[in-house]
Amino acid sequence: MKRQFIFLKYVSFNMLSMIGLSCYILADTLFIANGVGSMGLAALNLIIPLYNVITGIGLLIGVGSATHFSILKVQNKAKEASLYFSIAIKLALMISIPIAVMGFLFAENIMYFMGANQEIIPIASAYLKAYIIFTPFFILQQIVVAFIRNDNNPRLASIAMLLGTLFNIVFDYILVFPCQLGMVGAALATGFSPIITLLICSLHVLWKQNYFHYLPCQINKNKVYQIISVGIPSFITELSGGIIVFVFNMVILSIGGNIAVASYGIISNLALVVTSLYTGIAQGVQPLLSQSHGQKNTSLMSAYLRYSLMTSFIVSMLVYSCIMLFPQWIISIFNSENNFMMMNIAIQGLPLYFFGFFFAGINMIFVSYFASVQKFKPSFFISLLRGGLIVIPLVMILSILFSLTGVWLSFPISECLITLICLFLYRKKERA
């Protein structure tokens, strides 16, 4: 019972944290859909891949460094464990500041590259300029939350993320409606949210509960490589969502225009929230798997993996039941203009697309499992497959054969194929 309780403690708190993170964009989607309309919704969906990139960089550094920290903490190597935190902070600033500057200066060019037409570019670039200047805070948030979670305080990490989300929702409303700032208001509310999260996370240090400390240090190439080796699967997993959204946007735009992209915007934003549930399971169990690996306790590792897969299946059943029972009500929340065409496209796509999460959840857990036990090659390989190697050719072929239906089917088919590969790699590891 003790191991089940520990598992539930880490996973439940982390699922709440990741839901909070995904709700940054979902809150924007809700208020933009009602305050700006379908064109604002289409513009926001074109920006989602950039959101995935920024989040992915945060996970790359945060998960990679915090995993090593967790293993070293179990081994009572305090100074070396803290070095990973210090290097992570330096890496975050070195990467995020140039992204923020370049994104602000070239916002229009970036949105044109992302597929925005002349109708959408002005509102999309306005959102991007206001959003991207907060890039350092988004990336630092991922790192700090990961370290606090691995430092035996998943509760505080979860509370910090949820309060950041609450701030986002409240100020989304204030800035979009009473202040009439539209897309810019939504972006500013989202941008200030990680600052709130970081301020709350600072309590971990003020209460002197932190095992990690910032130590003056030089960037160590070996440690950077170790961070990237562990974190790259999480980066690719997050990036894959952005790649899928980008490719799907291009294909759907060619088939059904801006309204079809807006319909997909509803599906993809809901998918962000659902994906966060599985990310929460995968990242929540990561410290437990890393600690068990550090202690060479293989039976405990297997138990945590089994609990994770069972939790994933239960979540999938609950999510899909809601999708099948209340599709029209769910979509109507984002359809303030009562656009009949947008409603029909989304209703058709929602159950087909979301069936893929029965398999996607399993795949994300296996990526985390292999990375946590330092099996980097299978973790990286699965991440690459999820990053578009299967789904992109599928969506190209199936969209030609079955139009939009083919687009929706490409996601579950690709994830199903990847699940079979995951099971094969796991069986191979167990036999080795």
Instruction: Indicate the pLDDT class of residue 1, thresholds 50, 70 and 90.
Output: low
First vs last Cα of the chain: how many Å apart? 30
- pLDDT above 90 covers what percent of the chain? 49
HSE (CB half, 13 Å, CA atoms) of 405? 2
How far is residue 89 from each of residues 84, 85, 238, measured CA to CA in Å?
9, 6, 20
Element housing 23 (H / E): helix 2-35
Task: Quote the CA–CA distance of 105 and 115 in Å, as a whole number.
Answer: 18
Which range is least confidently modeled, 23-27, 116-120, 310-314, 403-407?
Answer: 23-27
Tokens of 15: 């699922």
Task: Quote the CA–CA distance of 308 and 313 in Å, as a whole number.
Answer: 9
The alpha carbon dihedral of 325, 41, 57, 217 has a sign of negative
pTM of the model: 0.79
218-249 pLDDT, tens digit per residue, is 888 898 999 998 888 778 877 877 888 888 98
For 296: left if phi > 0, alpha if psi spans -120 to 50, otherwise beta; the answer is left
Q: Are 380 and 367 in contact (CB under 8 A)?
A: no
Closest alpha carbon to 93 in 143, 46, 128:
143
Q: Are 10 and 280 in contact (CB under 8 A)?
A: no
304-338 pLDDT, tens digit per residue, is 999 999 999 999 999 999 999 999 999 998 887 78
pLDDT averaged over every residue in the chain: 89
For 210-259, what is the HEC assignment? CCCCCCCCCCCHHHHHHHHHHHHHHHHHHHHHHHHHHHHHHHHHHHHHHH
Instruction: Indicate the pLDDT class of residue 194, thresholds 50, 70 and 90.
Output: very high
Tokens of 126: 């306005």
Q: Where are the domains of the chain?
A: 2-431
| % helix, strand, coil for the chain, step of 5 | 85, 0, 15
91-144 pLDDT, tens digit per residue, is 999 999 999 999 999 999 999 998 888 888 999 999 999 999 999 999 999 999
Closest alpha carbon to 315 in 349, 269, 357:
357
Q: Are 414 and 391 in contact (CB under 8 A)?
A: yes
Closest alpha carbon to 311 in 11, 22, 5:
11
Report which of residues 68 and 418 the model is more confident about: 418
Over residues 402-430, the mean pLDDT reads: 94
pLDDT score of 193: 93
Task: Quote the CA–CA distance of 62 and 88 in Å, as a whole number.
Answer: 7
Q: Give residues with Cβ within 8 angstroms of 334, minimum separation 6.
A: 29, 30, 33, 34, 41, 265, 266, 269
HSE (CB half, 13 Å, CA atoms) of 240? 29
Angle at the Cα of 69 from the Cα atoms of 293 and 385, rounded to 5 degrees: 65
